[in-house]
Structure 1
Amino acid sequence: MPSLTFRTIQPADNQALAIIVRNALAEFGANKPGTVFYDATTDALYELFQQQGSIYYVAEENGVLIGGAGIFPSPGLPADTGELVKMYLSPAARGKGIGKILIEKALAFAKDAGYRKVYLETMPELRKAVSVYEKFGFKYLDGPLGNTGHFGCDVWMLKEL
């Protein structure tokens, strides 16, 4: 039986997470400009998530990092809105409910941190993720919120907590 653990990000997780994020984007043909594939913060997620109002959870199976998801107070978003960010899983982690647990943890943090809404940006290439977000009650928006700089994303969603 695999041993599955969830915890907050640690400095030693940076390299493994950057690989998971970039490999997932490349796998689905979403490794394009204007995405986190080219974002320098992808290599320093631990440091990024030290900001007030943010958190990043990672999942490990048998001691190997297999994915993560976080909440971040992205620039330009309303004060009551956090962003669900960097939700990526390695291929071995998919289809096991691990993403669902990571999203549940992130949404619970957002609510406890005082956010009333959670925003996300994604792209059609990540169809499976979009269907998961729909099941969580995220609704489609006509355009982006805030100033994430991710002009490569053209699916925007918002959930009321």
Structure 2
Amino acid sequence: MSAPFIRLIEKKDNPQIAKVIRSVLIDFNVPKVGTAYADAALDCMFETYQKPKAAYFVVEANNKIIGGAGIAQLDNYEGNVCELQKMYFLTEARGTGLGAQMMEFCLAKAREFEYEKIYLETMEYMTHAQKLYKQSGFEYIAGALGDTGHYSCPVHMVKHL
């Protein structure tokens, strides 16, 4: 049994990370419309993050992808702000500290890319995720920044980098 580790996404990871994200969204009864579930990018995550100032990381354990998260420029927003995107973990990865480790990877990359703020959207009942975000320095804001297309996600948070 090998210890889980975090690395940049590779093309071969596309089917596994798509399955992980859809599985987690189904587990949490997230609407299939207006959330990450409907994103065309889910089936081509590697390609989606092959652009400037973007990165996606996966958690691998025993040759299996068990989670992931990434950052990229916030869509439809004027300003030097990135978005924490598609941070999802299978049940076996939750509560293990991997979320906090992943957050550090994403924040470090956001700082490396010289973003001023990092923004995220989530569901109100994803309380464990919100606890991690608050511990990482995110604060709640009144409404959405930019337009991610995730109109079914009512919780918005931001962190100054």
Instruction: Give the TM-score band, short-chain normalised.
Output: over 0.9
Q: Which residue of 2 aligns with 1:74?
A: 74
Equivalences for residues 139-158 of structure 1 within 5 A: 139-158=139-158
Give a deviation string over 1:58-112, Cα, whole Å, max 9, x none: 1111221111110011222343211000100011111101111111000000001
Give a deviation string over 1:92-149, Cα, whole Å, max 9, x none: 1111011111110000000010101100011113221011101111000100001111
SS of corresponding position for 1:68: strand
**Structure 2 stretches of 5 or more lacking a match?**
none
In structure 2, give the amino acid aligned to 1:73. Answer: Q
Equivalences for residues 20-35 of structure 1 within 5 A: 20-35=20-35
Q: Which residue of 1 aligns with 2:57?
A: 57
SS of corresponding position for 1:86: strand
How far residue 33 of structure 1 moved from its aligned partner, in angstroms, is: 1.0
Equivalences for residues 13-24 of structure 1 within 5 A: 13-24=13-24
Q: Which residue of 1 aligns with 2:90?
A: 90
Cα distance between partner residues in 1 of 2:3 and 2:92: 14
Identical amino acids, percent of aligned pairs: 40
Cα distance between partner residues in 2 of 1:157 and 1:135: 12
Cα distance between partner residues in 2 of 1:106 and 1:113: 11
TM-score (norm 1): 0.95
Do the aligned partners of 2:75 and 2:147 also contact (CA within 8 Å) in 1?
yes
SS of corresponding position for 2:56: strand
Do the aligned partners of 1:76 and 1:146 also contact (CA within 8 Å) in 2?
yes
SS of corresponding position for 1:71: strand
Q: Which residue of 1 aligns with 2:3?
A: 3
Runs of 4+ in 1 over 3 A off after TM superposition: none
Computed over aligned residues only, the root mean square deviation of the Cα atoms, in angstroms, reads 1.1
In structure 2, give the amino acid aligned to 1:80. Answer: N
Do the aligned partners of 2:31 and 2:152 also contact (CA within 8 Å) in 1?
no
Cα distance between partner residues in 1 of 2:59 and 2:101: 9
Cα distance between partner residues in 1 of 2:131 and 2:120: 13
Q: Which residue of 1 aligns with 2:126?
A: 126
